[in-house]
Structure formats: C-alpha cells, structure tokens
Chain A
Amino acid sequence: MGRKLLLEHIDVPSIETFDVYRKNGGYRSVEKALKTMSPEEVVEEVKKANLKGRGGAGFPTGLKWSFLAKPEGVPRYLLCNADESEPGTFKDRYLMEKIPHLLIEGMIVSSYALGSNLSYIYIRGEYMWVLEILEKAIAEAYAKGFLGKNILGSGFDLDLRVAPGGGAYICGEETALIESLEGKRGNPRIKPPFPAVKGLWGCPTVVNNVESLATVVPIINDGAEEYTKLGTDASNGTKLISACGNVTRGGVYEIELGISVEEFIYGDEWCRGIANNKKIKALVPGGSSVPILPAHLITKTAAGENRLMSYESLADGGFASGSMLGSGGFIVFDEDQCIVRNTWNFARFYAHESCGQCSPCREGTGWMEKVLHRLENGKGNMRDIELLADINKKIEGNTICPLGDAAAWPVAAAIRHFREEFEWHVTHPEDAVKGNYGLLKGITV
C-alpha cells in the first residue's frame, strides 16, 4: 500500500465538513505557515519539494511562484484552475467533491505565500454540484476564522470565491481562464506579457491546478525533505491518476510516482487488469492530448527498461516512442477498440473546443476532424494519411496557446504507431465501417 497524502482521509465519513476534516489533522498547514513561516519560506519549501504542476504541463510550481512580479501597491491574485475538461481526466472533481477543505487549505497557504488577498477557484460550468460543495465548505472556513480578515490573528486577510465557467475546454488555458473570469470571451491572450506580470485585471497573477494547490498542504505539514522522499529523483511525491477505459476497476487513485505502469494496470490495488480478460491494445497515459502508446511500448520503454508512472519514464523516448504523464487521465484501450475512431473522437473534441482565434488551430483542427471522419467511415484514401501527418505538423508550434499542440499530438502519434490500421481503413472500407482492425499484426506483447 503506497503512502497517500491527498486521499489519506477520503473514506472518513463526513470528511467534507469542517469539523471532521479538522479532527483528522486539517488546517494544520495554515497554522504552521501563518504562525511560524514567512511567505518567502513557504515559497522556498514548495520550490525545494520540486512540485511539478499537476494540471498537465508539469511546470515546477515553486518556480512559477518565484516569477510573480511584486510591484508596490498592486494587488496580486491566486487563481485555482478547476476547469478540468481534458477527456479522460476527472481527478480534480473527485478531490473537490470528496475533500473540499483540502483545496481550501492549500489555497490559504498558497495565497499567504504569494500575498494574494483575494483568490478565486475557477470551476468548469458542468461541475455545478461541486461548486455548491465548495461554497458550503468555504462558508464553514469563514465561520471558523480560516478565511476573512486577520486569519488566526496573523494579520493576513484572504477572501476566497468560486467562479463558474461556461463549460469551454479552452478556459483551462491560464490566460483564457483570466479573460473568462474578467467576464470576457474566453480567448487565450497573446504572450508576453505573462500572467505573472500582467494577469487578472492587469495585476500579477498565478494560476495553479487544483491538485498542485492541494499538494502544498502535505508539503508544508511534513516539510519538503519528507515529501521528496516519495517518488523518484525527478518526480517527487504522489499523483492522482484517473483511470478509465477498458480496465477492470477504473477510478481515481493516488499513486506514489515511480510505480511501474504494469503494476498500475494489473495490480490488485489499482486497475486490476483489462476488463473481460481482453488484451491491451493502446494506452493514453495523461489525458487526450498526450501521444498514444501502442501495446509494446506500454510496460517497457523502447530501450527495454520498465516503464514507470513518472514524468521522466513516461516521456522516455520522446514523442517517437514515449508519451507524457500529462494530467493523469489514464485511458486504456483493449483489443476491440478502433484507433482511427478514437483519434477521430479526440479530433472532434479539439475542433469543437478550439476558440477560433488563430488560423492554424481554427482551420487545422476542423480539417483534421473532417478527414478522420471520412477515413473512419471508409471514404478515405492513402493520400489522406499523409495529409493528416502534414496538417498536424503545420499546426504544432504555430498557435497562440497549447491547444493547437494538444490537438496535433494525438493524431501524429496515432499515425506514427498505428499506420497499418489507418491503411487498413483505406484498403478495407467496408470492413472498417462494420468491424475493427484488432491488434497490430506481428507485434507480441
């Protein structure tokens, strides 16, 4: 049983209420930080913990915090990005739903570290019931003196508000989130300037993922040294993984970074193997944007080493034979799944969610979706496969925000690893409509 930091008390009845949460050690980090540490010391501790952003990009949280501009007399803001909309990812929802005070606690400590007196949780519009849970928890925290004026007599004031989005994936991009929070159309901003200099209402702003902010709590409680004992050298601590697809037991798991992918998929404690005794065909380890891995690259890297659940091991081999840990949306495909259909499904999502601001993403995602739809329905030709590979090369890196890259990578990876299956869709159009290609021929797992 791996050690749990975030979900340790998840099964305690009524843990969503303040009193039960407090009895189980809640809000200790607020007391410790506000009474015994300076804001700089909190930032330093998070930096030392080597916490990588849990939203998907994996940017070091402490480093992000240290970039925050601190001009005199200008307010600073901390925003929590709870606009979790990546297909396959539902870890933040689980955390907020089950143990809302953990996020609030993390936000108080982080706001203190950054000097934010007004912080927001920007939550996706579809999570309306979670918003209610959070608001109830926030009201409790206000009543107990953990939010509001002069928290615990420390002289630190903090107001915390929850703002719902309208349900657009793009609003999870930090500058689009800021635009949306300001009441505008959620279009990503042109960078520079970065939010750390000019963010919400033109003021310095930090945007962090739910899980990143929650992880600040154990880091402050136990100290960075204790925290970094968990995980591997480059990936410290634990990570929430939302496992879905054709596994026997899907759900949200907290793993210590560095356990093997094989153990995670087949271990009794975790996913318990592929459902219905089928064989695994492919894996998307970190949410729909990351490259898909074919069966022979899931448990072993191209170099033959064991593939681990860590930032560095999942990325081993680059995009040629690796993928990314991403947001932890762990999607497993069994032998009955059609890769072309799935790639089309992802492409359809990105075409629908592209904000339409910059040309490569607006036109390119729609184009890819149409071509993939044709291929899947047996109306493609060999030219289309080359065309797709070319379109995604032309989108990648040329857009305002990473949505273009996120749309391009899964298509590129699917063609890279499953070209035979795409070609089969062209050569066997009728079979492609009726049936499924199955496992790649000639590759044993």
Chain B
Amino acid sequence: MVKVTIDGIEVEVEAGTTVLNAARKIGGDVVPPAMCYYSKLEGSGGKCRTCLVEVAAGSANDPRPMPKLVASCSTPVQDGMVIKNKTSEKVHVNRGAVTEFLLINHPLDCPICDQAGECHLQDLGFEHGASGTRYEEERRTFDPIDIGNKIKLHMNRCILCYRCVMVANQLTDKRVHGVLGRGDHAEISTYISNAIDNDFSGNMIDVCPVGALTDKTFRFKSRVWFLKPMEASRSCTKCAGKAVVWMFGEEIYRVTARKDKYGEVEDNDGKPAWICNDCRFDHKNVSDWNIEGPRKINRHSVISANHYEKANPLENNTKKIK
C-alpha cells in the first residue's frame, strides 16, 4: 500500500493504482473529470486530457514536482506523491483550455440532442467552460450515419474518446469499426460502412460520453429528465439481465445498463454488467421486466441531478445543488 495526498487529503491505495482511481477512492469534488477513461475497458484513457492534474511532489524518495501536468487516469501513484487537482490554478486554466478545445468543433445542438441531461461534455462545459466562444471558423461537419439498425452515429458530436472502439474490440467478436483519418478530421466509422450486428454492440451507446452514439429506438422520444429511471431485471441467456428502464407513466421508453456516478457500467458478480441488445432494444414492455424499484442517479450534472432527485421521492438525502 502507498500513501498519496490529493488536494490535501491523504489516502492509502494499492501500488500501481492510478491517480484518478486514488482520487475516486476519496470521492467528492477532488475527483478529476474523465471523458475517455473507462475503468471497465482495457487500454482506455490518456486521450481527452480533461483529467490533467499537477504533481507537486513526485514521491517520498524524489519529492521534486513534475514540470508538466499529467493525465491522472494513466499515471500510477508513488508513495508520498502530492497531487493538486482543484487546488491548482494551472489545472484550472488548462482544464478550461481542454474544455474549449473539445467544444470548438462540437455543435451547440444540446436542445435537440438525446444525450442532453446526461452528457459528460455538458457537465464539463458547465464546470470549466467559458461563457462565450473564441472560435470564429467553420466547424468540421460529417453526415450522421447508421451503425447497424439500432445505433445512430453523429460524428459532429464525437470527441474521439475511443471508448466505443474499445467496446467493439473487447466485447464483440468481430470489430468492423474504428477510427479513420487523422487530426481534426479523424472520424469514428464502420469500415467501408459495414453495419455492426452483434449482441453487445448497444453498449457503445452507454459508454459514449456525448451524444455521438444514440439509441435509434429512443431518439427524439423524450428528454431524459422527464423519465423515471427504475432498476429492473429479467432472465436473459445472453447477459445478466440487470438494467435500468426509463419510464414515462406505465411505458418503458428506453433501457440502459446500470451506470455509476462516473457513467461507468456497474459490476454484477465481479464482472461489468454490460447488457445485450435483446434487453436493450427489444424488450420495452413492462411485462418483460421485473421492476425492482427506483434507481438513484448520482451524477454531478446540474441539469440531470435536479430532475433525477425529484424523480426519486423515496430518496431522502437530497444534496443541495450549488
């Protein structure tokens, strides 16, 4: 076990843990935001640079500070390391810069985007974004394309976190999608427009931090904050069948995996509870599911938190929203 101090709070973690996961062990607002890191996907992280933190002391043996900010999701902790996240002015400035970079080519179409309300980029923009843009150029645009018959890709909204590529690599048996092109014209695409037909491809929607990948069976049906999230299960031969159904009245509008406060799918019996496409797309009757009770959505987004809290009257520990 090694000791590391993050924003003045000391925590003991196993050697080899990343700074980000050490911060998550502390929890609360010392946790850096992460747009591309996803603990359940091997090799994720390091790309978006929103989780940059300042290393004020490298380790007990070598307490020199590091000259550059480091990506907390891919930097292992050292014993005696001192990290500054929200207490660092440099982090504040550069996280704002990364937010600006992510937004310059991102369309301002939140009002018609299905991800609004549960979008990590929206949260990031709220916390670290500027009120206006300095970007006067034309944004890069792509036509929306279908990835299979159930998933829509709006490349304009993509921040190239590579999470969906990793889902395709690690969950499905045959990958036919990846990144084409370079630089700001790089795009997620199915290779020569091959559709993805696989039992677990729908998880790409769940891992997408923005509205680039959306569920075609749910698109434009409702704003997420009008729906009541309920924990539900069914017996499924392909997956654990543990999901969240999003209801309006007595109707199920959409089905997603059970996601924690970092937007990552929860574990079930020690394994990530990814859900299969049958559960996600084809079972939208209340009679398909055993509804277990309301789902507590613990997200940092103001937009979502407000409504989700109201949607969960059984929960009493309502946090004051700042």
Q: Does A76 contact B (CB under 8 A)?
A: no
Chain B contacts for A359, CB-based, 8 A? 47-50, 98, 101-102, 159-160
CB–CB A367/B183 < 8 A? no
Q: Which of A192, A352, A367 touches B104 (beta carbons < 8 Å)? A: A367
Q: Does A365 contact B (CB under 8 A)?
A: yes
Chain B contacts for A400, CB-based, 8 A? 46-47, 71
Known: A190-B74, A363-B101, A394-B101. A356 touches B183 (CB 8 A): yes
Q: Does A399 contact B (CB under 8 A)?
A: yes
CB–CB A367/B135 < 8 A? yes
CB–CB A356/B179 < 8 A? yes
Interface string of B84-117 (1 = CB under 8 A from A): 0000000000100110111011000000000000
Chain B contacts for A394, CB-based, 8 A? 94, 97-98, 100-101
Complex CA gap A394/B140 in Å reads 21
CB–CB A356/B182 < 8 A? yes
Known: A363-B104, A363-B105. A356 touches B186 (CB 8 A): yes
Chain A contacts for B76, CB-based, 8 A? 192
Q: Which of A353, A371, A397, A399 touches B183 (beta carbons < 8 Å)? A: A353
Complex CA gap A207/B67 in Å reads 24
Interface string of B165-193 (1 = CB under 8 A from A): 00000000000001101111110000000
Chain B contacts for A356, CB-based, 8 A? 160, 179, 181-186
Interface string of A382-394 (1 = CB under 8 A from B): 0000010000001
CB-based nearest B residue for A371: B137
Q: Does B134 contact A (CB under 8 A)?
A: yes
Q: Does A362 contact B (CB under 8 A)?
A: yes
Complex CA gap A170/B183 in Å reads 11
CB–CB A355/B183 < 8 A? yes
Q: Does A150 contact B (CB under 8 A)?
A: no
CB–CB B49/A363 < 8 A? no
CB–CB A398/B183 < 8 A? no
Q: Which of B47, B159, B178, B183 touches A366 (beta carbons < 8 Å)? A: B183
Complex CA gap A170/B186 in Å reads 14
Q: Does A310 contact B (CB under 8 A)?
A: no
Known: A359-B49, A387-B134, A398-B52. A365 touches B183 (CB 8 A): yes
CB-based nearest A residue for B104: A363
Most buried by B among A355, A358, A397: A358
A residues 353-412 with Cβ under 8 Å of B?
353-360, 362-367, 370-371, 374, 387, 394, 397-400
Q: State the B residues within 8 Å of A (CB).
A: 45-50, 52, 67-69, 71, 74-76, 94, 97-98, 100-102, 104-105, 134-135, 137, 140, 159-160, 162, 178-179, 181-186
Q: Give 6 closest A-B pairs by Cβ, nearest first.
A: A356-B186, A190-B46, A366-B184, A394-B97, A363-B101, A354-B183
Q: State the A residues within 8 Å of B (CB).
A: 168, 170, 185, 190, 192, 351-360, 362-367, 370-371, 374, 387, 394, 397-400
| 20 residue pairs from A and B, CB less than 8 Å apart | A185-B179, A354-B182, A354-B184, A357-B47, A358-B49, A360-B101, A362-B101, A363-B101, A363-B105, A364-B101, A366-B140, A366-B183, A366-B184, A394-B94, A397-B67, A397-B68, A398-B94, A398-B97, A400-B47, A400-B71
- New A-B contacts (13) at CB < 8 Å, excluding given A352-B183, A366-B185: A170-B182, A190-B46, A192-B75, A356-B185, A362-B183, A363-B102, A371-B137, A394-B94, A394-B97, A394-B100, A397-B67, A398-B68, A399-B49
